[in-house]
Amino acid sequence: MKKGFPEGFLWGGATAANQIEGGLTDSKGLSVSDCYSFDSKLPMSEWSKQWKEMTHDQVKEALNEDSELYFPKRKGIDFYHYFKEDIKLFAEMGFKTYRMSIAWSRIFPNGDELEPNEKGLEFYDCVFDELIKYKIEPIVTISHYEMPLNLVVEYGGWTNRKLIDFFVNYSKCLFVRYKEKVKYWMTFNEINSVTKHPFTSVGVIEEGNPNLMQDIYQSAHHQFVAGALATQLCHEIIPDSKMGCMISYQMPIPYSCNPDDVQLSVEEQRKTLFFSDVQMRGYYPAYTARMFRQLGVNLIVKDGDSAILKNNPADYLGFSYYMSTASSSEPEKFDTVQGNLLNNGVKNPFLSVTEWGWQVDPKSFRVSLNQLYDLYQKPILVAENGLGAIDTVGNDNKINDSYRIEYLKNHISEMKEAIKDGVDILGYTSWGCIDCISASTSQISKRYGFIYVDMDDEGNGTLERMKKDSFYWYKKVIETNGEILN
Ligand code: BG6
């Protein structure tokens, strides 16, 4: 029996290009994430509404060069210019790995060009060199919520099969260019998010879409095929590489022992696991036929697609874990929680919630790790986990984020238990290791980092980086390979 974290465990942090880079320069094109504006005068429900339902007018406004709206993800935390300073801080914490993503629209500004943008490629060369200098292993997500906006406007996003070719061309370009620098890759961030916020995942505009479900699952099918082809190329071009797929897992717990709740939680779970089942096993599971019938989905699958999926499953499973959810067959009887993205999800009375209504449940993290490993028997990467909270800089310039330490400590403890249970975990990359723009609300005040960035939700601030208490705590965790968590 394993006693704790294995030698070589990949401790680190994670971010995404669209939430940190800024740098809308050197021919970078606009991406879907650049369409989210932010206005602090609007209520919070409006901010996350944008996330769940993009409108045609918003896309038009994003394309308007004279728009006076503030689009936080175009500025990020200016990692484009601060990356050396930021990576130095990661190294100081002892990071063994850094999960990052490449902005597709920095490499192919419109997505459909044949030749890449050299300036964009050079930028990531510099980032990887900096990581290698500190012996930090990059784990690179090829697409994390930032497909080029042009692919939405001109092609209708991933509903269009042509996107497979564009993505494969983009991926190939990355493998060829960075084959000496990057061994760990991931195809799509949280691929199952397509059912929750299709615009960021596959470029499908939700507003007034009569075929939303069809578009969602057809797009997902195209992503599966594209991801499998990229996996094949990755293995050919970089023989010792590992390609992962990734899902967001919000473990659905039956609200009660009422068999209806249990059945419902199984159905909710399948809506997520469908995405990893296809990519880890290489085929559509039996339950899909009924699921698609119920959703009115009639998938168009071309000859050869099944073989592509079958021959190129992912090498490891990455997943993000922030919360569990509770499934009730009578949801109207209970309170719901803001962060809950499941249809019949209700508040679990045993759990506390964050300021953004995300249920905190470290114990279900251990269960999730066990479930996912039992299912696929392949290594797991905890690609994201963390606490979004408001942080305050004290008079002494210190940032006491004991609540974050508590959250992370409890989750890491449960992860350690899962390792003792026998789960093969490659590494743990805490989300937003440096404060970044929130994916769902576009705020920076929803902070996750060990490193504070001096900026407010309107983009004002010096951008100065400051170490929070959790910075020193995490450094110790890494130094002791997870032995000391206090
Ligand atoms: C994950 C995403 O779902 O959650 C990240 O992969 C995101 O991009 C993270 O930032 C936290 O969510 P949020 O909305 O608090 O930024």
pLDDT (mean) for 173-186? 98
Centre of ligand 1 to C-alpha 440, Å, is 7
Q: Is 190 a catalytic residue?
A: yes
The closest residue, in CA terms, to atom 4 on ligand 1 is 439
Report the distance separating Cα 371 and Cα 376, nearest Å: 9
Mean pLDDT of 99-116: 98
Give the dihedral sign, CA 197/199/205/210.
negative
pLDDT at 169: 98
pLDDT bucket at 259, cuts 50 / 70 / 90 = very high
Residue 451 banded pLDDT, cuts 50, 70, 90: very high
Q: What band does 339 get if pLDDT is binned at 50, 70 and 90?
A: low
More confident residue, 105 or 43: 105
Q: Which residues contact 191 (CB under 8 A, 6 or more apart)?
A: 201, 220, 223, 227, 245, 246, 247, 275, 279
- Shortest-distance atom of ligand 1 to CA 16: 8
Is 60 exceeded by the pLDDT of residue 341?
A: no
417 noted as active-site residue:
no
User: How far, in Å, CA of 186 to CA of 99, rounded?
Assistant: 10
Q: Which residues of 349-358 are buried (b: 16+ CB within 10 A; e: fewer)?
A: eebebbebeb
Q: Give ligand 1 pocket residues (Cβ under 6 A).
A: 16, 19, 145, 189-190, 248, 320, 384, 388, 431, 438-441, 446
Residue 248: the pLDDT is: 96
Instruction: pLDDT band for 164, please (50, 70, 90 cuts).
Output: very high
Whether 35 and 197 have beta carbons less than 8 Å apart is answered as no
Tally Cβ neighbours within 10 Å of residue 374.
11
Distance between CA 86 and CA 292 in Å, rounded? 45
Note whether 97 and 137 are within 8 A (CB): yes
d(CA 124, CA 173): 13
Report residue 334's pLDDT band, with 50, 70 and 90 as the boundaries: confident
Query: Could you tell me the pTM of the whole model?
Result: 0.97
Cα separation, 245 vs 32, whole angstroms: 21
Question: If 0-12 CB within 10 Å is exposed, 13-18 middle and 19+ buried, where does residue 240 land?
Answer: exposed
Per-residue pLDDT reduced to its tens digit, 203-251: 999 999 999 999 999 999 999 999 999 999 999 999 999 999 999 999 9
Distance CA 103, CA 21 (A): 9
Distance (Å, rounded) from C-alpha 482 to C-alpha 247?
25
β-strand partners of 318: 246, 381
Tell me the pLDDT tens digit for each residue of 27-42: 999 999 999 999 888 8
Q: Whose CA is nearest to atom 2 of ligand 1?
A: 439
Distance CA 81, CA 85 (A): 9
149 C-alpha to ligand 1 centroid (Å): 20
R_g (Cα) of the chain, nearest Å: 21
Q: So what's the pLDDT on residue 2?
A: 82
232, amino acid identity: Q
Residue 395: predicted pLDDT: 94
Q: Which atom of ligand 1 is nearest to the CA of 383?
A: 6
What percent of the chain stands above pLDDT 90?
Answer: 92
Alpha helices (runs of H) in 9-117, residue ranges in sequence order = 17-20, 44-52, 56-63, 72-75, 79-93, 104-107
**Residue 417: predicted pLDDT:** 98
> Could you tell me the distance, in angstroms and rounded to a whole number, from the CA of residue 267 to the centre of ligand 1?
24
User: pLDDT for 453-474, tens place per residue?
Assistant: 999 999 999 999 999 999 999 9
What residue's CA is closest to ligand 1, atom 10?
Answer: 439
What whole-number distance in Å separates Cα of residue 321 and Cα of residue 383? 8
**Distance in angstroms (rounded) separating the CA atoms of residues 192 and 33:** 17
Among 245, 259, 237, residue whose Cα is nearest residue 179: 237
From the CA of 377, how far away is ligand 1's center (Å)? Answer: 26
The mean of the pLDDT values for the chain is 96
pLDDT value of residue 344: 60
Query: Which pLDDT score, from 0 to 100, does residue 50 have?
Result: 75
Handedness of CA 115, 103, 192, 150 (dihedral sign): negative
Which position among 137, 190, 268, 414 bears the catalytic label?
190
State the average pLDDT over residues 52-62.
92
Q: What is residue 343's predicted lDDT score, i.e. its pLDDT?
A: 58
